[in-house]
């Protein structure tokens, strides 16, 4: 009996230790929701939890589709680097954008701490897709940065890519010191076009994995897939967000969907 109680306690402790920090997520939402200038807040529901998303429609009369943006570790859907520049700029190229809040942990959490949360992101991605489908969007592109890319790849590995028209991975493969990736990216099994984009001043893990990612994309054999390096850019594209937006927009523009 004692052994059973200890096992039950450890299981509960493990679960609680890896659950998303909903209180911190709420604080992030409270900080940004009234500061949104472009776009509008949309509250989506997944796993009986409402999470913040920011929808920014294109002004063009004939939209090409919509882009779902997944931010990096511990951030929010209007983060100054990567997320906000993409969500506010891509509508000019004919794409609606929906930047969603992903599960977060405390600020000090590392890659290994976030691995159990990958599964929690899946229902949020699916909820975002369902929302866009309900508005009549046909082509949906998933754009994911850093930890968001890990979460996106976890979802694709289990769900497939049938519900998206293309995928953009930004700074894919980032982890922490002496914390190797726990899950391989399913790039070789993807059918949709893939853009792998990263900066030349990236984290070593992202740079070292670049040949492996390219080989997997070539194995998938989609002729529209590309790997692009942004000179001088670091993992967060600080002071290089303009180049990131330009590269992503140009790749999206040439897609034959």
Q: Tell me if 200 sits within 8 A of 228, measured CB to CB.
A: no
pLDDT over threshold 90, residue 16: no
What's the pLDDT at 19?
81
Ordered strands of the 194-199 beta sheet? 40-46, 49-56, 95-100, 65-70, 140-145, 166-170, 194-199, 226-230
- CATH 3.50.50.60 corresponds to the domain 20-254: no
Residue 8 pLDDT more than 60?
Answer: no
Give pLDDT tens digits for 130-149. 999 999 999 999 999 999 99
- Does the pLDDT of residue 113 top 50, yes or no? yes
pTM assigned to the model: 0.92
pLDDT at 15: 38
| DSSP codes, 186-214 | -GGG--S-EEEEEETT--HHHHHHHHHHH
Using pLDDT thresholds of 50, 70 and 90, give the confidence band for residue 18: low
pLDDT digits (tens, 9 = 90+) for 180-236: 999 999 999 999 999 999 999 999 999 999 999 999 999 999 999 999 999 999 999
CA dihedral 162, 166, 168, 173 (to 10 degrees): 30
Q: Is 27 helix (H, G, I), strand (E, B) or coil?
A: helix
**In the chain, where are the structural domains located?**
20-254
Query: Residue 52 forms beta bridges with which residues?
Result: 43
Distance CA 199, CA 78 (A): 21
- How do residues 50-74 score in pLDDT, each as one tens digit? 999 999 999 999 999 999 999 999 9
């Amino acid at each position: 009996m004692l052994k059973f109680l200890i096992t039950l306690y450890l299981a509960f402790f493990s679960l609680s230790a890896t659950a998303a920090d909903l209180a911190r997520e709420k604080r992030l939402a409270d900080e940004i929701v009234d500061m949104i200038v472009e776009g509008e807040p949309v509250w989506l529901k997944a796993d009986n939890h409402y999470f913040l998303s920011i929808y920014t429609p294109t002004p063009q009369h004939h939209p090409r589709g919509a882009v779902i943006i997944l931010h990096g570790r511990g951030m929010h859907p209007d983060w100054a680097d990567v997320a906000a520049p993409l969500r506010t700029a891509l509508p000019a190229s004919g794409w609606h954008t929906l930047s969603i809040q992903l599960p977060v942990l405390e600020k000090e959490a590392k890659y290994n701490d976030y691995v159990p949360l990958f599964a929690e992101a899946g229902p949020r991605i699916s909820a975002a897709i369902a929302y866009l489908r309900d508005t009549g969007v046909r082509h949906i592109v998933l754009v994911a940065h850093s930890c968001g890319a890990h979460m996106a790849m976890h979802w694709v590995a289990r769900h497939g890519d049938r519900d998206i028209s293309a995928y953009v991975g930004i700074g894919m493969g980032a982890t922490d010191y002496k914390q190797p990736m726990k899950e391989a990216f399913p790039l070789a099994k993807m059918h949709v076009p893939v853009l792998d984009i990263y900066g030349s001043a990236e984290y070593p893990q992202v740079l070292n994995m670049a040949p492996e990612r390219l080989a997997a994309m070539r194995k998938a054999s989609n002729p529209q897939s590309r790997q692009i390096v942004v000179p001088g850019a670091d993992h967060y594209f600080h002071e290089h967000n303009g180049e990131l937006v330009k590269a992503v927009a140009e790749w999206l523009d040439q897609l034959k969907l």
